[in-house]
Amino acid sequence: MPRRFLDLVVTPSVAREQRRAYGVAHAVGDDAAPEPLGPDEAAFLAARDSFYLASVSETGWPYVQHRGGPRGFLRVLDPLTLAFADVRGNRQLVTAGNVAHDSRVALLLMDYPARRRLKILGRATFTDAARDPALAASLARADGRARVERVVRIAVEAWDWNCPQHITPRYTVDEVEALVAPLRAKIVELERAVAARGSSSTTAR
Ligand SMILES: Cc1cc2nc3c(=O)[nH]c(=O)nc-3n(C[C@H](O)[C@H](O)[C@H](O)COP(=O)(O)O)c2cc1C
């Protein structure tokens, strides 16, 4: 299990709660180096079409937003750097404003069918697309429909997998379509067979 994640999330008050409840506590974190993503984490990210992104407001409120796009839109640039295109949206810029004040973010990525979830802690920077046109172009959606206003880079600090308990398997429309496609084909085949049998018995009468 990656240590860096607990190093970051176990603060003195978290350790106190652990000690009070269970008599032992994880050591309060040191200043260890960031933990790079491995091939399993990179493959998991490449298959995701959404994630939840939490940031901290200037007044200390936690804030979480859903981000969505084509599979792999959260790109692994290298094992310590993620990036995605911030497309024209609701013009609130809450995450962008939060990050300008405090770059720390938390990501939660779900694979509901496989009941897997990955948490990532990192530091985000928003850059106007005009200032980083090459990255903006490489992150833009293939259909070109969403206008890229900013690129977001996330320097990975730590990550951790969660256990599958209490994750209800859920499927997207595309996933359901892929699952039922062979059944649909079978129905068509059986309907043809039934129709052929019906017409041959009519001919026989
Ligand atoms: C027409 C429209 C299309 C949008 N498309 C996406 C999208 O494809 N992916 C996404 O993550 N956010 C999309 N959003 C953006 C979100 O509404 C929001 O602007 C963005 O997630 C930033 O939110 P924040 O201000 O809470 O940080 C879209 C918004 C609008 C109004």
Q: What is the pLDDT of residues 12-35, one digit of tens each?
A: 999 999 999 999 998 877 667 999
Question: Helices (DSSP H) in the chain: which residue ranges?
Answer: 3-9, 12-22, 39-46, 94-101, 133-139, 173-204
Say what the pLDDT of residue 144 is.
78
Say what the pLDDT of residue 205 is.
56
Tens digits of per-residue pLDDT, 157-170? Answer: 999 998 888 899 89
Question: Helices (DSSP H) in 25-93: which residue ranges?
Answer: 39-46
Tens digits of per-residue pLDDT, 172-198? Answer: 999 999 999 999 999 999 999 999 998
Q: How does the average pLDDT of the chain come out, rounded?
A: 93
Nearest CA to ligand 1 atom 29: 89
Tens digits of per-residue pLDDT, 72-101? Answer: 999 999 999 999 999 988 899 999 999 999
Q: Which residues of 147-177 are buried (b: 16+ CB within 10 A; e: fewer)?
A: ebbbbbbbebbbbbeeeeeebeeeeeeeeee
Residues with CB under 6 A from ligand 1: 65, 67-69, 87, 89-90, 92-95, 146
Nearest CA to ligand 1 atom 14: 89
* Average pLDDT value for residue range 54-79: 97
Nearest CA to ligand 1 atom 15: 89
Say what the pLDDT of residue 146 is.
85
Say what the pLDDT of residue 202 is.
63
pLDDT band at 204 (very low <50, low <70, confident <90, very high): low
Residue 155 pLDDT greater than 80, yes or no? yes
Q: Determine the Cα–Cα distance for residues 152 and 144; give it in Å rounded to an integer.
A: 18
